[in-house]
Chains A and B, each alone.
Chain A
Amino acid sequence: MAKDKTPLYVKGQEVLQDPEAFSGLKQDEFPHRSSLLDINRRDLLKFMGGSLAMAGLASGCRFLPQQKIVPFVQAPEDRLPGEESRYATAASLGGYGTGLIVRSYEGRPIKIDGNPGHPSSNGSTDARTQAELAVMYDPDRLKNPQVVGDYGTWDEFFKNARAAMSKSHDGAGVAILTQNVGSPSLAGQISAFLKANPAAKWFQYEPVNRDNLNEGSMLAFGQYVDTVYRFDLAEVVLSLDCDFILDGPGNVRYQGDLASRRSVDDSAPNLSRIYAVEGVPTLVGAMADHRWPVRSSKILDVAKALAAKLGITGAAGSLPHGIDDKALTSVANDLMSSKGKGIVIAGAHQPAAVHALVHAINAALDNSGATVLHLEPVLAKPTSNVSDIQALTTAMRSGQVSLLLMVGGNPVLDAPADLRFADALAQVPFSAHLSLAQNETTQKCLWQLPESHFLESWGDARGHDGTACVVQPLIEPMYDSKSAIEMFESLLNKGRTGLEIVKDTWKKNLTSSQTFDDAWQVILSTGVIPATAAKVLQLSPTPNMAAGLSAQESGDMELLVLHDPTVYDGRFSNIGWLQELPKPLTNITWDNTFQMSPATAKKLGVGQQDRMLGIPYYGNWDVIRVTANGATVEGPVYIHFGMADDLIVVHTGYGRQQAGMVGNVGDMIHQGGGFDAYPLRTVASPWLINGVQVAKTGRNYKIANTQFHNLLDHDETDSGRDVIRETTLATFLKNRDVLEHPTEPTMEVKGEEREKTSIWKGPDGFNSPDEYQWAMTIDLNLCTGCNACVLACQSENNIPTVGKEQVLRHREMHWIRIDRYYRAESSDRAFDENNPVITFQPVTCMQCEKAPCEPVCPVAATTHSHEGLNQMVYNRCVGTRYCSNNCPYKVRRFNFLLYTKRVEDVPVLKLLQNPDVTVRGRGVMEKCTYCVQRINRARIEAKKAGREIKDGEVVTACQQVCPSKAIIFGDMRRPANAVSKSRASKRNYVLLENVNTRPRTTYLGKVRNPNPELEA
């Protein structure tokens, strides 16, 4: 029977009390009557008249949908309409959890924030975690258990599964395939299952895995370890092809720690120095003071040469193209001079040898134990994912697996291509997949089981350093779904609920002076389980290990297959927020590409069709056919400045056939979808592939970037604008005023002079000292370009996604965007295409004191508040777009179409919307409001308490999520407030000072810390 559970979104208490009776009431137009004959003539006429009148009204002039609402007869005690409640929970990716605090309104979660108490979060999250909310409200989620396309029930599934298992009493032929498991409760459930079925086997696989890291630690230490880094203590950081800002366990924490050493205090600037040697530009590379593009396969050579310079026995290497000996010597010297205060870190896709060498290097530099800590593995059972999936597939193919239970993941899509997992799966008589949403794997399974999202179910997780946190549900499961732990519980024929399972897990593990229940209450409110961090191991690497490391082979052209910066391994493909989130550095949305350096593109004779009839034109990109590992994949090229030559990088997670309405290839709504790069990965070379053949197809393809770079950045006139102010630490120490001067002549005058000469009279800053004066500063030195603020803003402010076709027309709606600039290197104003210096600049509404948008609006729909906000009145806006034309920062966004149509059409998406923020219809302008709803909420609280809003009480969404704390917001009247102090910094400057807009948002200029040895 179809059982589509109603979401927890009830119209009245009656529903909860007696749903069956209530649905009867709802159906009946004349309730409480025994028969149709009981309706008397008067009532009938009354109803008929009313119906006619209503019909006339409804069909007349209004387009509003008709809805029936029933108020609570008896309101639940703990629910206050309009009041938010916050719950601690945790999200997991790749087996590692991040503690969260999730805001909930009237029973529905509407915003995810980081948990300040959890070491992996520190109060922030990354962009993907922000999008977990959209994952839960994804309309394409599995809603009912299904058995090959037909409706099934959980009971039926358990009955059948148990029957299948009971064929062999020890569980022989039963296999479990999970993703990497870090949750102690899930691990406990699985081991209980394995105990009950001793011959059953447990495999773990996900495409973004720790195989190389694990193998590297095995090489170096003879055991699996997790390595965590203390960037907050590091003076010198060397990143070898590693984007620890964007990916991996602890990325949010690492970003914050790194930023804490990049913040420049006027009096005592104390900057760490970052070096990056990498094949593909990363956010770390963009942040770095020195960066060298080196092919990914040659990173091993760099590591060897560095090891040799540091005196590690057995290491020797010739330096590859891209970095010279002088540079590496300087890096080595720098690392040596800050022994115990340096970090060398390598990317997860680098081979084990690199990781082993890096361990040796960190040990040689005394960093191990100080800034680099080796921990007992956090994952329940660290294994080689690729070996696991290989073993499983072999077993499946040979008919040894009669029952396969998959929890999450999508191996049909993402298992190494040469395993042909789908074929093997066809040989398994009983297969079941517990999955949030339907995907390629679910489609091929006998049973398709809906999984509960972490916001709907109990669970637990461990952070990058092992600190455990509890996953609390914020909402009843919206569909007929179960979490993994609940499913195993039922399979074992036991009856504990999710909560009981988690509690039982921690009853065993928790040592506390309090009673468990007391401790549990504290855990629930903080979200963090104390004293659960993994034990630090004192290890030293195997001596002479470096000598035995084999060299990495590399051919003429190599291909690096990475997971996508936004949609990850494909699990977020159906999430419009992440699809439309511009990928860091390239600003591509909705697609993946074959990225390569300009020289490589030239060599291959591919690029952008940038002429039409001889006229420069923003055209399509060539589509190439890439053959590697026996597979052929076609996709568009993209020239990515700063990549190493002879390297092509491609991201997985696209080309989905079964992702859903948003993520499928060429779907009608959004048109993007990219191509599937998974066929290129094999067991032998899942990341870096040699022997790549590239052929042109003659076709081309449109890529939707939110920011051009090709033609534009070559313009000789683009630099020289007063956009980014940047200096070096040495210069800044000599002259603190170096960033105060505009880079181009300005008419802006200050003080009395302004009163005489400017047409914009009035004091700078604020007009009324009795009212709050809001201001924001954004520290360019701290911004890493990670995009978390973009998604946080999208989630907080109900910003719609518009789809690829609209992005191609430059109609993306993000209220805050991360602008990426390449630094001009010479007087001819060209940037270094091979290795550009990159700066990010988050731009949102500047809330100008003399806002150019305000006087041009013909209907006064955008006005200035006494508190300095440039307000947008959606109801009044007629949509002339004049304000946007006149905005020098181009931060205004126009609803060219009814972008919220999907929200109107798909009921579950309504739940995603923040009730504090208007959902905008078509034809109106919108823009950043400094999260005015949060200001007003704080104002109400302050008024109730009869006090002023305290500093830090209003936190904007972008500020809250920023892992590096680059954004400061507050009342600038009070000199003691953080924002006032920040504005008083010598680095404080106004974007486009020469247009005299006097913005409330100001920037703190960038100070880099290049190595003086390398500057000469």
Chain B
Amino acid sequence: MSLIDMNKHEMITGEWDNRSIDGRIGDIVLDPNRHLEAKLPGLLGKLLPQNMRSPWFVMAGIGFVFVNILLLCVTILVLTGIGVWGNNQPVGWGFDIINFVWWIGIGHAGTLISAILLLLRNQWRNSINRFAEAMTIFAVMCAGMYPLLHTGRPWVAYWLFPYPNVMALWPQFRSPLIWDVFAVSTYFTVSLLFWYVGMIPDFATLRDRATSAIPRHVFGMLALGWTGSAKAWHRYMHASIMLAGLSAPLVLSVHSIVSFDFAMAIVPGWNTTIFPPYFVAGAVFAGFAMVIMFSIPIRKWYRLEDFITMKHFDWMAKVMLATGLIVAYGYMMETFYGWYSGQSAEMALLYNRGNLANTPYSWAFYSLILFNVVIPNFLWIPKVRQNLTALFWISLSVNIGMWFERYVIIPISLSRDYLPSSFGYYTPTIVDFGMFFGTIGFFVFMMFLFIRFLPMINMFEIKELWHHMSHHKEHGHDVVATGEAH
């Protein structure tokens, strides 16, 4: 069912049903036979912000250490200059832009899950959307750090924004970097709003359940006076749909625009029209990999098996497989176009990537193929999709592979473009690695703070599903929580 077919009545009343493209989706979210046995309060108790179990201390601790490494590296960078990185003359962009693109990509799963699946009424998303959205926020934070810090003079990086100034100068709107500024800042704003709005009813729950003054006040403020009235719910549903409508195009636009940084340039290996779709697919690919990678340990540590079911993993693995195949197709077409162009610089680039014996970079290209094309194909096998260990490692492989994809595109293309005299070689420095692992640490740290202080699974949507299930069960339906029984 598409958006256009959406029942007008629903739009007006905000009445929420579980109708979706696939009528059987409902049962993968919660197993009625199992969940109806359990008591709702007990079930929901698991969804409250989690207590600090030992994995939390370990993970948040590791994250915190790397946050400090990040701060140290950023300090060194800002005090000394870009020279502390490995960037050099032919290779103007290295880890900075690789990591930027990589993090932006990782954020995409959150938006896709929360916006597009919401609009498409794929309710299986309900268990994972909250932390997927949180991942988006933190990933975009990590990503946004790089374009700022990769400028030679970060203290004037605000010149990239169109603001009225005494210099009477606008930014240069023809530059894809300006498009990036708009795309990423819009993306971050909308994602943040969406995430926040999605949490309002849960903030109210937390406020109501708070036992001490501070959480009561904090959550009270965050809940914006939510009372749970029908009118409030009505408005809430509208806001959700609208924000989802805003986010949905962003899923496609942000990474398309990021890919314009390359596609609009004349560097051989960058100047390719296939980049926008293939970057978007890659982003979803990487994003889902990150969601899987993150949810597997969380599910185990916080005993969320009741909410994140094997069906979830199966579906996410399938999305990953599908986008992975699009990405593989992208690699194929990139190679084809390189050859088809007939330009010696493009041909040389292919040679440079592919010749294992004579070029210093081919290892990166073959790693990319291994991690991104070969390994994800194991997801065709249903048993692999059901094996969490295998899924974890495959997701890790995809994340590494997607990082290598940017490595292959950015420094390798730049290191040898047109004039053989200017060919160079890129070697990252310890500060490059420090910042990269630092952002990973920041991401992990923020995610665990999120788990500790905010509900990581959407409580009210689970309650709603539970309600539907129990309702339909009473009416004797076998397949519950779907719209048919209405």
**Closest residue on chain B to residue A813 by CB atoms:** B89
Asked whether A843 and B83 contact (CB < 8 A) given A810-B424, A858-B160, A994-B343, the answer is no
Question: Could you tell me the distance between the alpha carbons of A71 and B424 in the complex, rounded to whole angstroms?
Answer: 49
Interface positions of A from 891 to 931, Cβ below 8 Å from B: 893-898, 922-925
| Shortest CB distance B474–A (Å) | 61
> A236–B93 Cα gap in the complex (Å)?
50
Is A616's beta carbon under 8 Å from chain B?
A: yes
Contact for A888 among B264, B360, B417, CB less than 8 A: B417
B421 lies within 8 A of A885 (CB): no
Supposing A856-B176, A894-B152, A896-B81 touch, asked if A889 and B160 sit within 8 A by C-beta, the answer is: no
Instruction: Provide the residues of chain B in CB contact with A810, threshold 8 Å.
Output: 88-91, 424-425
Q: Which residues of A contact B344 (CB under 8 A)?
A: 717, 720-721, 744
CA distance A898 to B152 in the complex (A): 11
Chain B residues with CB under 8 A of A884 = 89, 92
For B151, the chain A residues whose CB sits under 8 A away are 878-880, 923
Chain A: how many interface residues by the 8 Å CB criterion?
64
Bound-state Cα–Cα, A617 to B90, Å: 17
Q: Do A859 and B92 form a contact, CB below 8 Å, given A809-B86, A881-B152?
A: no
Q: How many Å lie between the Cα of A806 and that of B84 in the bound state? A: 10
**Interface-forming stretch among A100-108, A202-210, A464-472, A707-715?**
A707-715
> Given known contacts A858-B177, A896-B82, A896-B83, is B420 in contact with A723 (CB within 8 Å)?
yes
B152 to chain A, nearest CB (A): 2
Q: Is B265 an interface residue (CB 8 A)?
A: yes
Q: Quote the shortest CB–CB distance from B201 to chain A (angstroms).
A: 41
CB distance A881 to B169 under 8 Å? no
Task: Give the Cβ gap from B393 to chain A, nearest Cβ, in Å.
Answer: 23
B406 interface hit (Cβ, 8 Å): no
Q: Which of B320-356 contact A (CB under 8 A)?
A: 342-345, 347-348, 351-352
Establish whether residues B360 and A617, one from each chain, have CB atoms under 8 Å apart when the complex forms.
yes
**Residue of B82, B156, B358, B419 most packed against chain A (CB within 10 A):** B419
B89 close to A894 (CB less than 8 A): yes
Q: Known interface pairs A810-B89, A992-B418. Does A878 touch B265 (Cβ–Cβ under 8 Å)? A: no
Nearest-neighbour CB distance to chain A for B415, whole angstroms, equals 9
B189 within 8 A of A: no
B153 near A924 (CB under 8 angstroms)?
Answer: yes
Cα–Cα distance between A923 and B83 once the two chains are bound (Å): 9
Q: Which of A362-370, A793-801, A817-825, A982-990 contacts B (4 or more CB under 8 A)?
A: A817-825
Contact B159 A859 (CB under 8 A): yes
- Asked if A716 is at the interface (CB within 8 A of a chain B CB), the reply is yes
Taking a contact as CB atoms under 8 Å apart, the answer to whether A711 and B358 are in contact is yes
Residues of A close to B343: CB separation below 8 A: 744-745, 994
Instruction: Tell me, yes or no, whether B80 is within 8 Å of chain A by CB.
Output: yes
Complex: chain B residue closest to A859, CB-CB: B159
Q: Is the interface of B mostly helix, strand, loop or mixed?
A: loop
CB–CB A859/B160 < 8 A: yes
Q: Which residue of A lies closest to B363 (CB)?
A: A615
Q: Which of chain B's residues have a CB closer than 8 A to the CB of A817?
A: 421
Interface residues of A in 846-867 (CB under 8 A from B): 852, 855-860
Q: Mark A800-812, 1 if CB is under 8 A from B, else 0.
A: 0000001001111
Q: How far is the CB of A1003 from chain B (nearest CB, A)?
A: 13
Indicate if the CB atoms of A843 and B81 lie closer than 8 Å. Answer: no
Q: By the criterion CB–CB under 8 Å, are A618 and B425 in contact? A: yes
Q: Select B152's contact among A720, A744, A923, beta carbons within 8 Å.
A: A923
Total number of residue pairs linking A and B with CB closer than 8 Å = 195
Contact residues in B for A859 (Cβ distance below 8 Å): 159-160, 169, 171-172
For residue A158, which residues in chain B have a CB less than 8 angstroms away from its CB? Answer: none
- Check if A876 is an interface residue, CB within 8 A of chain B: yes
Task: Say whether, besides A745-B342, A810-B90, A992-B418, A885 and B265 are in contact (CB < 8 Å).
Answer: yes
Task: Using known A-B contacts A715-B359, A810-B424, A924-B153, determine if residue A882 contacts B175 with beta carbons closer than 8 Å.
Answer: yes
* Closest beta carbon of chain A to B176's beta carbon, Å: 7
A852 to chain B, nearest CB (A): 5
**Cα–Cα distance between A716 and B75 once the two chains are bound (Å):** 44
Question: Which of B83, B153, B345, B358 is the most central at the interface, judged by chain A CB atoms within 10 Å of its CB?
Answer: B83
Tell me the smallest distance from the CB of A788 to a CB of chain B, in Å.
19
* Residues of A with C-beta under 8 A to B181: 858
Chain A, interface SS category: loop
Structural contact, A924 and B152, CB atoms closer than 8 A: yes
C-alpha spacing A458/B313, complex, angstroms: 87
When distances are taken between beta carbons in the complex, the residues of chain A under 8 Å from B172 are: 855, 857-860
For the complex, what is the distance from the CA of A858 to the CA of B260, rounded to whole Å?
A: 13
Are B358 and A881 in contact, with the CB atoms below 8 A? no
B267 at the interface (CB under 8 A from A): yes
Q: How far is the CA of A713 from the CA of B174 in the complex (A)?
A: 37
CB nearest to B355 among chain A residues: A715
Q: How far is the CB of A594 from chain B (nearest CB, A)?
A: 24
Question: Which residues of chain A (416-434) have a CB below 8 Å from chain B?
Answer: none
Q: Tell yes or no: B223 within 8 A of A by CB.
A: no
Question: Among the interface residues A616, A716, A859, which one has the most CB atoms of the partner chain B within 10 A?
Answer: A859
The answer to whether B150 touches A893, judged by C-beta atoms less than 8 angstroms apart, is: no
Q: Is the CB of B266 within 8 A of A858?
A: no
Contact A721 to B87, CB < 8 A, known contacts A715-B351, A855-B174: no
B93 touches A723 (CB 8 A): no
- The answer to whether B87 touches A616, judged by C-beta atoms less than 8 angstroms apart, is no
When chains A and B are docked, how far (Å) is the Cα of A817 from the Cα of B360? 25
Q: Which residues of A contact B342 (CB under 8 A)?
A: 744-745
- B157 CB-CB contact with A under 8 Å: yes
The listed residue (A707, A718, A880) touching B177 by CB distance below 8 A is: A880
Contact pattern, A 602-622, Cβ under 8 Å of B = 1, otherwise 0: 000000000000011110000
- B420 contacts which of A821, A855, A885, A925 (Cβ < 8 Å)? A821
> A715-B359, A858-B177 are known contacts. Are A885 and B93 too (CB-CB below 8 A)?
yes
* A875 CB to nearest chain B CB (Å): 9
Least CB separation from B147: chain A residue: A880
Whether A896 touches B177, Cβ cut-off 8 Å, given contacts A708-B423, A717-B351, is no
A707-B421, A876-B159, A879-B82 known; A860 vs B171 contact (CB < 8 Å): yes
> Across the interface, do B90 and A923 meet the contact criterion of CB distance under 8 Å?
no
Q: How far is the CA of A895 from the CA of B88 in the complex (A)?
A: 10
Find B267's partner among A617, A886, A893 (CB 8 Å cutoff).
A886
Distance to closest chain A CB from B261 (angstroms): 8
B264 CB contacts on chain A under 8 angstroms? 856
Query: Given A715-B359, A857-B175: A995 and B418 within 8 A (CB)?
Result: yes
A215 to B90, CA, bound (A): 50
Q: How far is the CA of A868 from the CA of B84 in the complex (A)?
A: 35
Q: Is B87's CB under 8 angstroms from A881's CB?
A: yes
Which residue of the partner chain B has the closest CB to A820? B421
Query: Given the complex, which residues of B lie within 8 Å of A199, measured CB to CB?
Result: none
Known: A715-B358, A880-B151. A888 touches B81 (CB 8 A): no
Closest to A723 in B: B419
Cβ-defined partner of B175 (8 Å) among A843, A856, A991: A856
Expressed in whole angstroms, the minimum distance between the Cβ of B140 and any Cβ of chain A is: 19
- Chain A, 708-746, CB within 8 A of any chain B CB: 708, 711-718, 720-721, 723, 744-745
- Inside 8 A of A819's CB, which chain B residues have their CB? 419, 421-422
| Given known A-B contacts A855-B174, A881-B93, A886 and B159 have beta carbons under 8 A apart | no
- A877 beta carbon closer than 8 Å to chain B: yes
- Complex formed: what's the CA distance from A893 to B87 in Å? 12
Contacts of B80 in A (CB 8 A): 897
* CA–CA, A619 and B418, complex, Å: 23
Judged by a CB distance under 8 angstroms, whether A890 is at the interface is yes
**Contact present for B88 and A809 (CB under 8 Å):** yes
Q: Top 6 A-B pairs ranked by shortest CB distance?
A: A879-B152, A923-B152, A881-B92, A896-B83, A819-B421, A897-B83
New A-B contacts (13) at CB < 8 Å, excluding given A859-B169, A860-B170, A889-B422: A618-B425, A711-B359, A712-B423, A716-B351, A821-B420, A858-B172, A881-B152, A882-B92, A882-B93, A886-B267, A894-B92, A922-B152, A924-B152
27 sampled A-B residue pairs with Cβ under 8 A: A615-B363, A711-B358, A714-B358, A718-B348, A721-B420, A810-B425, A819-B419, A821-B421, A841-B421, A856-B265, A859-B171, A881-B150, A882-B175, A882-B177, A885-B265, A886-B265, A886-B266, A888-B419, A890-B422, A896-B152, A897-B84, A922-B83, A923-B82, A923-B153, A924-B152, A925-B152, A992-B419
